[in-house]
Structure 1
Amino acid sequence: MFSPQWIQTFLALADTGSFTRAAIRLNLTQAAVSQHVRELETQLGPLLVRHPRALELTPAGESFLDYCHEVEQAGRRLKVRLADADAHRGEVGLTTPGSVGLAIHAPLLALQAENPGLVIRHRFAPDPEIIDALREKQYDFGIVTLRPDDPRLSASEFAEEVLELVVPAGQMVTSWDDLARLGFIEHPDGPAMATRLFSRAFPGNPGVRRLPRRGYINQVGLILDAVARGFGFTVIPRHARQSFAEAAAIKVALSGDPYPLWLVHRAEWPLSARAAFVAEHLREKMHALKERRTGP
């Protein structure tokens, strides 16, 4: 819609406040600068008020200046994203469940410290939001607990997770009635995780939705605070439980079998070099973490 040179001219005018200084900065004649402004004002209306010693932006000029800054920033972001040859520079966006996020947070910070050119954008979210974000191309890759059934997405095994029933210290759970007595501290992935764990531990159970709900918390690092205070039980991945500082205030009443976590990205194109570098680094760290926890 607007010539890139017109945008650069307007930015220079707004910054210098002078046709003469803008022309010198851009290595143009004043006539060329004036022509660019006329072209813009033909489409947008008056953008500048010309005073003897200064220029003043009209409201339309202020709005167009905001637009120029947005275009300039978008151009810089595009250059970063297209600079794919260097795996150690540029932005990488990933989204994970909170439990996985807690496990990979420190390795991500360490990786960025070792590679100052990397910019890592990491968001915690439940599985459905992760899948939607990947479909909308908002992130390079995500990690989910259930393999998506969508031909637009490619999935590969990333690591293993174990679900745990966590109760206040001193409490016992041997039956469904014990769960009903304690009540459920729910979280966004809680019902799905509880259903997965309880289907084998309590066959024929009436369903987690029939259990009393004692609270709902959407911050994974805070869920176990409520359990530690005796408000109820929760079902949470082992990574999240192992990150909880007050271990003596809670107890694992039941552990499930390991199940895979899936690394997911858009299937139509491969991961960028830097995204693949980050993903492989995290895969190695998760494998090493598993080895330490299950080794002798």
Structure 2
Amino acid sequence: MLNPQWLRTFTTLAELGNFTRTADHLGLTQAAVSQHVRHLESRLGPLMLRRPRRLELTPAGHAFLAYCQEVEQADKRLQLRLSEADAEHGEVSLISPGSIGLSLYTELLDLQLASPGLVVRHRFAPDDEVLDAVLNNRYELGLVSLKPDDPRLVATLFAEEPLELVVPAHGKGHEWSDLQRLGFIDHPDGQAMATRLLSRRFPGHPGIRSLPLRGFSNQIGLILEPVARGLGFTVLPCYARQAFARQEEIRVVEGGASVVDTLWLVHRAEWPLSSRAQLALEHLRRRGKFRNV
């Protein structure tokens, strides 16, 4: 059996690409790092080529790196199983779309304050990345906007999230001419969301591409900043709007047809949720913010 320290040395060296940085990162001497690699190569054959300015993995090196990553994931699963009876210590991992993630993350931080033994790990990601992360055990919980049909996953209704037309606090948005005067603040999903909502609110009008573009941001927490400053309007999911700190500087245009997205909670079907994940979901249920939890 290979020494686990050798595996850690190799994966770190493959990531950093430098013997000196690897030694510093692991608290070892450079000679120790070289020795670990020699031990591995005496068993497995050449794993990397030493170039003057970089290291290059051989095909055997790539295969061994994949093996190291599998061992690391197996170790994480083992630690999860061994510690799952302790609901207030360990990691709560969640990957979700950005809009609802803004609300979820702060709620989970409140849980961490109440149970300091917990560690919250959250990532914003689109649906396909969420599914891949949950299926490959990088995150225990995930949220997606389309219910998956993969038998390896359990999917339960989590919440409904309406799209909202958001304008500056003193702006208007009931007429198409109001939107023409304001102009559009775009974001990565902006045109798709705006098309879905505005085509129902303003049937017969030429669509979002006909409106002047006033700005763009790919940071979901900043999309409403130009709106609050009077620079334009946007269309966002309600959880993203609710997370904005200065609600008094923006306004949701009510009335008209609505568009509501459904969010699904997913996790692996082959094993039960850890007690920490169950605690987190119970916390969200008690807060009542996500009524379908």
TM-score normalised by structure 2 residue count = 0.66
Question: What is the CA-CA distance between 1:254 and the residue it aligns to?
Answer: 3.4
Q: CA RMSD in A?
A: 4.1
**Is residue 163–residue 235 contact of structure 2 (8 Å, CA) maintained in 1?**
yes
Question: Equivalences for 1:1-296 in 2 at 5 Å?
Answer: 2-3=2-3, 42-43=42-43, 77-83=76-82, 84-254=84-254, 256=258, 259-285=261-287, 287-288=288-289
**Alpha-carbon distance in 1 for matches of 2:44, 2:239:** 56
Give the partner amino acid of 2:273. Answer: L
Look at both structures and tell me which one has the larger radius of gyration over its CA atoms: 1
Q: Percent identity?
A: 54
**Is residue 95–residue 123 contact of structure 1 (8 Å, CA) maintained in 2?**
yes
**Alpha-carbon distance in 2 for matches of 1:136, 1:72:** 13
**Alpha-carbon distance in 1 for matches of 2:98, 2:244:** 13
What SS is found at the alignment partner of 2:2?
A: coil
**Alpha-carbon distance in 1 for matches of 2:242, 2:6:** 57
Structure 1: 5+ residue stretches without partners: 9-13, 18-35, 46-58, 60-66, 292-296
**Is residue 130–residue 144 contact of structure 1 (8 Å, CA) maintained in 2?**
yes
What SS is found at the alignment partner of 1:162?
A: strand
Q: How many residues end up aligned between the 2 structures? A: 248
**Alpha-carbon distance in 1 for matches of 2:169, 2:91:** 43
- How has the CA–CA distance of structure 1 residues 15 and 162 changed in structure 2, closer, same or farther, with 3 Å as cutoff? closer
**Alpha-carbon distance in 1 for matches of 2:125, 2:93:** 13
TM-score normalised by structure 1 residue count = 0.66
What SS is found at the alignment partner of 1:221?
A: helix
**Alpha-carbon distance in 2 for matches of 1:207, 1:257:** 16
**Alpha-carbon distance in 2 for matches of 1:195, 1:189:** 10
What SS is found at the alignment partner of 1:155?
A: strand
Structure 2: 5+ residue stretches without partners: 9-25, 30-35, 46-54, 56-64
**Is residue 80–residue 91 contact of structure 1 (8 Å, CA) maintained in 2?**
no
**Alpha-carbon distance in 2 for matches of 1:128, 1:5:** 34
What SS is found at the alignment partner of 1:123?
A: strand
Question: What is the CA-CA distance between 1:224 and the residue it aligns to?
Answer: 0.9
Give the partner amino acid of 2:153. Answer: L
**Alpha-carbon distance in 2 for matches of 1:89, 1:142:** 20
Question: What is the CA-CA distance between 1:173 and the residue it aligns to?
Answer: 1.9
Question: What is the CA-CA distance between 1:266 and the residue it aligns to?
Answer: 3.3
Give the partner amino acid of 2:223. Answer: I
1:43-64 CA deviation, whole Å, 9 max, x = no partner?
Answer: 489xxxxxxxxxxxxx9xxxxx
